[in-house]
């Protein structure tokens, strides 16, 4: 479906914009060449590892308590069993909440990623926009992670020019 949509758009642009200039960039290539992005990515990776360890430790503690409860269960009264089961469910929810707090869509890691990486992405976007304006390009496509681009001639790759606009070689 994506491929059909992209091809349709390209055909319309080709027909309507006969004589228009097009180019492409590889945003992954560009971002990997920017030290600020690499440092931000390393910081995010370290945070993710730290958060994952905390979450795993929390779940491991809950699993240990469940195993302990299973062995002691036969010795407990009904009231004690109910209380322990409720306590275990609360601890399980607590571990899930911690995981969601760190890794959820509005989690700490997502917010940190936005804080660290968005400024770099904005710089790249502005450099691409300037390049398009200066070069008279009707469109500049990003070929990073895009399986619908079947072929691209490196002569039209403007990734290095974007890096030069940003002050990187």
Residue 18, φ and ψ in degrees, nearest 5: -55, 130
Residue 114: the pLDDT is 94
User: Does residue 9 sit within a domain?
Assistant: no
The span from the CA of 151 to the CA of 48, in Å, is 36
Number of domains in the chain: 1
User: Does residue 39 sit within a domain?
Assistant: yes
- Whether 81 and 87 have beta carbons less than 8 Å apart is answered as no
User: Does residue 4 sit within a domain?
Assistant: no
User: Does residue 155 sit within a domain?
Assistant: yes
Name the pairing type of β-strands 137-142 and 21-25: parallel
User: Does residue 12 sit within a domain?
Assistant: no
Residue 169: the pLDDT is 74
Residue 83: the pLDDT is 96
Residue 41: the pLDDT is 96
User: Does residue 8 sit within a domain?
Assistant: no
User: Does residue 131 sit within a domain?
Assistant: yes
Q: In which element (H, E) is residue 141 found?
A: strand 137-142
User: Does residue 105 sit within a domain?
Assistant: yes
| Block residue for tokens 């707090």 | 101
pLDDT tens-digit map of 48-72: 999 999 999 999 999 999 999 999 9
User: How is residue 75 annotated by DSSP?
Assistant: G
Mean pLDDT for back-to-back runs of 10 residues, the chain (169 residues): 57 57 88 94 96 97 95 92 96 97 95 94 91 85 70 74 85
Distant-in-sequence, close-in-space partners of 131: CB < 8 Å, separation ≥ 6? 23, 137, 140, 158, 161, 162, 165
CA 24 to chain centroid? 22
Domain that holds residue 92: 18-165
Residue 140 to residues 15, 69, 131: CA-CA distances in angstroms? 17, 61, 9
The span from the CA of 105 to the CA of 118, in Å, is 16
Residue 110: the pLDDT is 95
């Amino acid at each position: 479906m994506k491929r059909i949509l992209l091809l349709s758009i390209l055909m319309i642009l080709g027909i309507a914009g006969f004589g228009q200039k097009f180019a492409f960039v590889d945003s992954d290539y560009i971002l990997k060449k920017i030290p600020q992005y690499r440092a931000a990515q390393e910081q995010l990776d370290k945070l993710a590892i730290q958060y994952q360890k905390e979450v795993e430790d929390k779940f491991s503690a809950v699993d240990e308590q469940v195993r302990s409860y299973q062995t002691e269960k036969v010795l407990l009264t009904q009231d004690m069993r109910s209380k322990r089961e409720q306590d275990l469910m609360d601890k399980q929810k607590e571990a899930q909440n911690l995981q969601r707090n760190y890794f959820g869509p509005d989690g700490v890691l997502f917010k940190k990623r936005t804080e660290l990486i968005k400024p770099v992405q904005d710089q790249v976007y502005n450099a691409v926009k300037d390049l398009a304006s200066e070069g008279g390009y009707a469109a500049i496509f990003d070929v990073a992670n895009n399986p619908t681009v079947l072929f691209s001639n490196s002569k039209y790759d403007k990734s290095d020019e974007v890096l030069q606009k940003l002050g990187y070689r």
